[in-house]
A and B are shown apart, each in its own frame.
Chain A
Amino acid sequence: MQHAARLRLALLLSWPTLTLLGLVAIPALLLIRISIAPRDPSGMWSPGFTLHAYRALMEPELLGALLDSVEMAVVVAAISLGLGFPLTYLITRMRRGQQVVWLVFLLTTLSLSDVLIAFSWQVMLSKRIGLSNVFVALGLMDAPASLTPSSGAVIACLVYLVLPFTVLTLFPVLSRLKTDVIEAARTLGASPLRAFTSVVVPLTRGPAMIAFLMAAILTVGAYVPPLVLGRPQHWPMAVLIGSTALAGHDLPRASAMSIFLLGATILLAILTARVARGRRRA
């Protein structure tokens, strides 16, 4: 490339470089630095070095919260994939107009604030007008009751939040999936289940894994739904990080907890990738 052209390119990329490196890369490094800094009573941190925040991570309460986070992530991701996969497949086979309606609908729910969705679920599960009244009418319950706080409420709300992301992740691959391949397998005598496992699964394994991971990451990072709909004794890591930073004014500790949570998320990602790959070999 000529000198002038290179200069122009550098100039063109200067603003994106400044913002992306300045606001993402540097702050991420800063997070690591703060996590090993001593706490300052003013709510910030002071210069120096200590592993105090990391030592505090070994408390059983925090380890339990981390386990809760990971368990919830796996459950929500599995449910979302189980529902999202067939849903996406059916959407990709619809007529164009219907497809657009579903996509606009999903994008709208996707973009709605988790605050508004958690609030909606709280109203939906309330004793006064909530779902329990429907259950009473159906004879499934004796009297209306509040269905929150409970783990079920948190999981329902999280599946609601995550499902549109699952669909949008699977949409490209499933809309490219040719129906003739499946039909060919069926003509050759494969049962529907076998056609699915031997034709559809290998073709969509990668995106399905990404959809699973995306759902897991969104769940791990979710702060509002467990806070509004969950039981305090089951508060996941995200809620504890938030309260450590906001109510506890302990940024070093919140940073260390964030790194801890991130580490667990990466571990989960590696495990998921290994499971997805392991099945291919079998």
Chain B
Amino acid sequence: MIKAAGKFLFLALLAIFLAAPLVVVAGVSFNGTQRMNFPPQNVSLVWYRAFFSDPAWMSAFSLSLIVAALASLAAGSIALPVAYAIWKHRSRMALFLEFVARISFLLPSIVLSIVFLVFWSWLGHVGRIEDTILSHAVVFVTLPLATIGLGFRSVDWALVEAARTMGAREGDVLRTVVRPIVMPYVISGLVFVFILSLNEYIIAYMVAGFEVETLPIKVFNNLRMGFQPTMCVGAVLFMALGVFAFSAVALIGDLPKLLGGNRAQ
């Protein structure tokens, strides 16, 4: 009894710790006045209207969406061949590339941002949107690599053999047996990159922060000028996108399994 109560208290306290900043910011975004109030006073959607009718906020928001979408596609185009080559051929080159991808994810982000800043300056190709996209793609590519690898490994070889015995050629096997099994893993990998790229700040800022002002960069720039309720709207929007995206992943796939879980009971 005491044990159960302790367990519950621990979980509740952590849930409060994790939820509190989000709840407070969401609450503030519904204020009717310019001032920061919590709980909100004169509840209204005025700041949401302000956000969506302000071209500067809207351009930052849509720019973030474009960068994130293209970064996730680019990451997928890198991860899929590597994961396939590892699964099909145990290719050493592919294993090495997987290692490089993992290292780039593990470097401290401030160091990575300097690496990219130096690199794009060296190329003389500064302040372009593709710099941000490609930088995000290679930093986050390890995530779809992991999920797609998991997908390929969950393909039962007996199934592939059976298809071959029945006369299916390699292409047919890939299209009819492998693709349907791997597809949810590809999509979840892309969702991870999309959401992380959407929210990434320091690399995007160093690489092209003045020209390609994504939403986190705009929020940060405004932060230094003082409080504005529209910033809270941006935060709420991104939270909602995150909840939506990961719930979708949980719906189309097996989220606990995707994260490496395997209930041993």
Identify the A interface with B (CB < 8 A): 1, 9, 12-13, 15-17, 19-21, 23-28, 30-31, 34, 44, 83, 86-87, 90, 92, 96, 99-100, 103-109, 111-124, 126, 128-129, 160, 163, 168, 171-172, 175-179, 214, 217-218, 220-224, 228, 237-238, 241-242, 245-246, 251, 254-255, 258, 261-262, 265
Majority secondary structure, A binding face: helix
Chain A residues with CB under 8 Å of B107's CB are 217, 221, 262
Chain A residues with CB under 8 Å of B14's CB are 83, 87
Chain B residues with CB under 8 Å of A163's CB are 18
Q: 21 pairs across A/B with beta carbons < 8 Å?
A: A12-B84, A13-B91, A15-B77, A16-B82, A23-B138, A24-B100, A113-B198, A115-B219, A116-B199, A116-B235, A126-B36, A129-B36, A129-B38, A160-B18, A163-B18, A171-B259, A175-B261, A220-B110, A223-B109, A228-B223, A242-B113
- Contact call B17/A100, Cβ cutoff below 8 A: no
Q: Which 10 A-B pairs have the closest CB atoms?
A: A221-B108, A172-B260, A120-B21, A27-B119, A113-B199, A175-B261, A108-B242, A221-B109, A238-B110, A129-B38
Among B109, B114, B220, B261, max chain A CB count under 10 A is at B114
Residues of chain B from 239 to 261 with CB closer than 8 A to chain A in the complex:
239, 242-243, 246-247, 250, 255-256, 259-261
- Residue on A nearest B14 in the bound complex, by CB: A87
Question: B202 is contacted by which of A107, A237, A242 (Cβ under 8 Å)?
Answer: A242
Chain B residues with CB under 8 Å of A15's CB are 77-78, 81
- Contact call B121/A44, Cβ cutoff below 8 A: yes
- Contact call B138/A20, Cβ cutoff below 8 A: yes
Chain B residues with CB under 8 Å of A25's CB are 100
- Residue on A nearest B202 in the bound complex, by CB: A223
Segment of B22-30, B42-50, B51-59, B156-164 engaged in the interface with chain A: B22-30
- Contact call B202/A28, Cβ cutoff below 8 A: no
Chain A residues with CB under 8 Å of B246's CB are 103-104, 107-108, 111
- Contact call A251/B118, Cβ cutoff below 8 A: yes
Chain B residues with CB under 8 Å of A258's CB are 110-111, 114-115
Identify the B interface with A (CB < 8 A): 7, 10-11, 14-15, 17-22, 24-25, 28, 35-38, 74, 77-79, 81-82, 84-85, 89, 91, 93-94, 97, 100-101, 103-104, 106-119, 121-122, 134-135, 137-138, 141, 195-196, 198-202, 206, 215-217, 219-220, 223, 227, 231-232, 234-235, 238-239, 242-243, 246-247, 250, 255-256, 259-265
Chain A residues with CB under 8 Å of B35's CB are 128
Chain B residues with CB under 8 Å of A9's CB are 85, 89, 91, 93
Chain A residues with CB under 8 Å of B141's CB are 20
Chain A residues with CB under 8 Å of B93's CB are 9, 13, 17
Chain B residues with CB under 8 Å of A124's CB are 20-21, 24
Chain B residues with CB under 8 Å of A237's CB are 110
- Residue on B nearest A260 in the bound complex, by CB: B111
Among A15, A24, A121, A228, max chain B CB count under 10 A is at A24
How far is A172 from B195 in the complex, measured between Cα atoms in Å? 22
- Residue on B nearest A265 in the bound complex, by CB: B108
- Contact call B259/A168, Cβ cutoff below 8 A: yes
- Residue on A nearest B8 in the bound complex, by CB: A90
Given contacts A13-B94, A129-B24, contact A221 B250 (CB under 8 A): no
Question: A27 is contacted by which of B81, B108, B118 (Cβ under 8 Å)?
Answer: B118
- Contact call B195/A120, Cβ cutoff below 8 A: no
Question: A245 is contacted by which of B206, B220, B265 (Cβ under 8 Å)?
Answer: B206
Given contacts A12-B84, A104-B246, contact A115 B260 (CB under 8 A): no
- Contact call B85/A12, Cβ cutoff below 8 A: yes
Given A109-B18, A113-B219, A258-B114, 18 other A-B residues pairs in contact with their CB atoms under 8 A: A16-B78, A16-B97, A17-B93, A17-B97, A20-B138, A23-B135, A27-B118, A87-B10, A104-B250, A112-B22, A116-B239, A124-B20, A129-B37, A171-B256, A177-B264, A245-B114, A254-B114, A262-B107
